[in-house]
Structure 1
Amino acid sequence: MKNNAKAIVFFDLDGTLLTRDIKVADSTVKAVKKLRENNILPIIATGRSLFEIEHIMQHTGINSIVSMNGQSVIFEGKPIFSNDIDPQIIDRILQFSHSETGIPIAFYNDYIMRISELGEPATKFYHYLQQTIPPVDDKIHYQEPIQMLLLLCESGEEIYRDVFPELSFVRNTPYCVDVINAESSKAFGIKKLLQKAPLQNIPTYAFGDGFNDIEMFEIVDHPIAMANAVTPLKQLAEFITDDNNHDGIVKGLQRAGLI
């Protein structure tokens, strides 16, 4: 499809492609299939890792993803870019969390998830995602490349921004803050995908709802916000579709003339 794609559509997951109960609506699955029939390329752009959402990709038939807020890019099942966090920086943030804030850390790449410690913050966050709590291993970055960290907290991330200017901190849920290299974002990963696939000079669309979608909305041709989106994202949108629990994806694709 990459040689004759008429358009590209980037989909955020939580609050966008996924309903409130962390599922893909049947209407959305049918809409994605219709996109492919229309030679339009669907791509997931998410804060999550590949490991977390392989079942969603299989269910929707989407095999390209900008994951971990642009830290990793897979196109048609093949890795084409990754942006690892320096292990020495991970050591520093672990030490700072241990000595100054008490905030636990989660470690992510495309294939694993680990946490620095068990406790209420981890329980709340993974219950919110309806996921099993990952194993504890605060030395995983010595054995595996890590592309994203999470601060498992409901508040208190502001101090990290001053202490770690080489990192970017974006609150993605009420219970966690995504931590990635400072130059990264969904937009950064999308640019890498368009360059390396290659997929330049093709109209781009994006659906999203959260703060980590802002940079993505700023670079695509047609940003479309969900009705449940945060206000700053709505202000960047070409139009606002219905929410993620009321066929917002289908209605938005129809209004954009893509299906």
Structure 2
Amino acid sequence: MKTIIFSDIDGTLLNNEHKMTPRTKEAFHMLEQKHIPYAFVSARSPSGIYPILKENNLTCDIVSYSGGMIIDKNGNVLFSEGFPKHIAKEIISFLNPYDVTWNIYSEDQWIVANKKDPRVINEENIVKAQSKEGTIEDVESHVNKILCMCNPDETEAIQKLLIDAFPNLNITRSSPILIEINANGISKAKAVELLCKKHHINIKDAFAFGDNFNDLDMLKCVGHPYLMENAPSSLKEMISEHTLSNNDDGIYVALKKENII
């Protein structure tokens, strides 16, 4: 069977220390040896993904902004889509009354209101990329994504408020404190479909690994979805096939079980 492997990054590919475990790294090197294509599919920006590839000596297609931008392994942009600046302005104004840190992403720009915000500093440390202090006026083209950093006990409520206020946008939670805002029609699933076509692989033969709600559409669209053990319990009821956690080599274990590596 000709296949392709898709993996989310945070909470899936990386452990809780934001590193690939040795066996997870080994799994992807084995895929390369077998000439099995794979892609990392993330809400991160491209500059938040490339350090992972460099650190682990890997080369692959990447999907950033949860499908808002797709770049092949040679660095060619296959797809980039977002929403206009005036919509981003409306979102930022809407968020002002709440204790939310907004982040604007456009192509490979990452713009924040305050670089000294502890939430921004924490994100910079995780993704090994640097933000730039500015405003929506500094965006050179469309906005690929707005990331909202929230208090954990407020994330779900703020997501619901955003969905009600902006029904034409795709608004998902990627962690207990993060809300991702993308253009309508942007999804990990659509990116997976595009890359399956690019590699001439039936999507029903593809594997996907994820751990959170913004992975659900990707997991549902492939023939072989795997949910990490560290996923929320409500998500486990929606995807039947589970593997070990991101700290316990879940991807490696599943690919071994399936005789892919």
TM-score, normalised by the number of residues in structure 1: 0.88
State the identity %.
27
Aligned positions of 1:1-259 closer than 5 A: 6-58=2-54, 59-77=56-74, 78-98=76-96, 100-101=97-98, 103-118=100-115, 120=117, 122-123=119-120, 125-126=122-123, 129=126, 131=128, 134-140=131-137, 142-154=139-151, 155=154, 156-195=158-197, 197-201=198-202, 203-259=205-261
Deviation at 1:224, TM superposition (A): 0.8
Amino acid at match of 2:178: C
Aligned equivalents of 2:62 and 2:234: distance in 1? 24
Amino acid at match of 1:113: W
Deviation at 1:101, TM superposition (A): 3.0
Structure 1 residue ranges without an equivalent (≥5): none
Q: Is the 8 A contact 1:81 1:192 kept in 2?
A: no
Structure 2 residue ranges without an equivalent (≥5): none
Deviation at 1:187, TM superposition (A): 0.5
For residues 169-228 of structure 1, the C-alpha deviation after alignment (integer angstroms, 9 at most, x for no partner) is 212123321110122211122123334x25342610001111111000110010011111
Aligned equivalents of 1:145 and 1:137: distance in 2? 16
Aligned equivalents of 2:165 and 2:78: distance in 1? 31
Q: Is the 8 A contact 1:49 1:111 kept in 2?
A: yes
Structure 1 residues 199, 76: CA separation in 2 closer, same or farther (over 3 Å shift)? farther
Q: Is the 8 A contact 2:150 2:177 kept in 1?
A: yes
The residue matched to 1:24 in structure 2 has which SS? coil
TM-score, normalised by the number of residues in structure 2: 0.87
Deviation at 1:75, TM superposition (A): 2.0
CA RMSD, Structure 1 to Structure 2 (Å) = 2.3
Aligned equivalents of 1:132 and 1:9: distance in 2? 26
Deviation at 1:126, TM superposition (A): 2.0
Deviation at 1:158, TM superposition (A): 2.2
Aligned length: 253
